[in-house]
Amino acid sequence: MRLLVAGAGATGGYFGGRLAHAGRDVTFLVREGRAAQLRAGGLEVVSPHGGFKLTPKLVTAGTVDGTYDAILLAVKAYSLDGALADLAPAVGPETMILPVLNGMKHVELLTARFGPEAVAGCLCRIPAHVDEEGRIVQLGKFHDLVYGEMNGARTPRIEKLDAFMHDAGFRAYLSPAIEREMWEKWVMLATLAGITCLMRGSVGEIVGAPGGAEFVNRFLGEAAAVAAAAGHPPSETFLAQTRALLTAKGSPLTASMFRDLQAGGRIEADQIIGDLLDKGRQAQVPVPLLALAYTHLAVFQNRQAA
């Protein structure tokens, strides 16, 4: 199997790097600046599970070398349009696209451009970032990549992908309910981003303030209600685990969107908060906290664009 990884940042670089380090056929599609950095210093991963450094196979826009069996799409949502144009030459009749973007809007865009058969479900769970030296630094111990056919079918191509992903140094999991799991991750991310960005603090700081835990639970309730109205109700197990995670006393947990906001970088407010808000309004679900969070983040985005 030939895998193209679109993006060599924290997510694409980590999982693609692990696969390449395990001997899989992996090529990275990157921008010229990142390509120059990787050619000069290699792709380096710093991880509690053991680090490594390798010389990756690289292509850039306009130099894609034929079609691939699978494409791991690991770019930020605001870079999606450009990435789709760059990777289009790599998509053949049998190519499977595995997007690990946040939210669900990208699934609609990929399906419209490449057709529903080309798109599989995928999500990842990993705390990581790219440091000033260009290294991919894993910040915690979990590193999960979950994938599956959107309709839950166990097809030959998804089984082939599953075999490709296993024993590569991270937790690979073939899900029979990937669409529900993608929605659940969206609910969790929207809640975490909304609460930490609105309150400008960590989970522990929020729940340590008067009314903090109640605020978190109300925000989670809104996000879960939107998912349910869209036909993807989160499981009770997921909701219990997420409530515990987001109301843990003393927790230093923050959203990557909050960290990006603090650093003055670009944020995915439209895809994580705005799209969920739109779906809530279309379903006539009361979403006052989602609306507040989106207005708050839109002020920051508009300032960045000015």
| Statement to judge: residues 185 and 252 lie in one domain | yes
pLDDT of 94 reads: 94
Distance of CA 271 to the CA centre of its chain: 11
Distance CA 184, CA 70 (A): 24
| Statement to judge: residues 138 and 21 lie in one domain | yes
For the chain, percent of residues with pLDDT exceeding 90: 91
Structural domain boundaries, residue 286: 180-305
> Does residue 105 have an active-site annotation?
no
Q: pLDDT digit string (tens) for 185-199?
A: 999 999 999 999 999
Helix orientation angle between 212-229 and 178-199, rounded to the nearest 10 degrees = 150
Q: pLDDT digit string (tens) for 88-142?
A: 999 999 999 999 999 999 999 999 999 999 999 999 999 888 998 999 999 889 9
- Residue ending a domain, among 176, 196, 213, is 176
What is the domain count for the chain?
2
- Residue ending a domain, among 176, 193, 210, is 176
C-alpha dihedral sign at 46, 48, 54, 59: negative
With beta carbons less than 8 A apart as the criterion, state whether 123 and 100 touch: yes
Q: pLDDT digit string (tens) for 47-59?
A: 999 999 999 999 9
pLDDT of 282 reads: 96
| Statement to judge: residues 205 and 296 lie in one domain | yes
| Statement to judge: residues 46 and 109 lie in one domain | yes
Residue 5's nearest CA partner among 70, 76, 95 is 70
| Statement to judge: residues 186 and 172 lie in one domain | no
Q: Which CATH number goes with the domain that contains 289?
A: 1.10.1040.10
Kindly report the pTM of this predicted structure.
Answer: 0.92
Half-sphere exposure of 266 (CA within 13 A, CB side): 10
Angle at 150 between CA 148 and CA 155, to 5 degrees: 55
Residue of 141, 185, 249, 279 marked catalytic: 185
Please give the DSSP secondary-structure letter assigned to residue 233.
P
Hey, is 24 helix, strand or coil?
coil
Which secondary-structure segment (H or E) carries 247? none
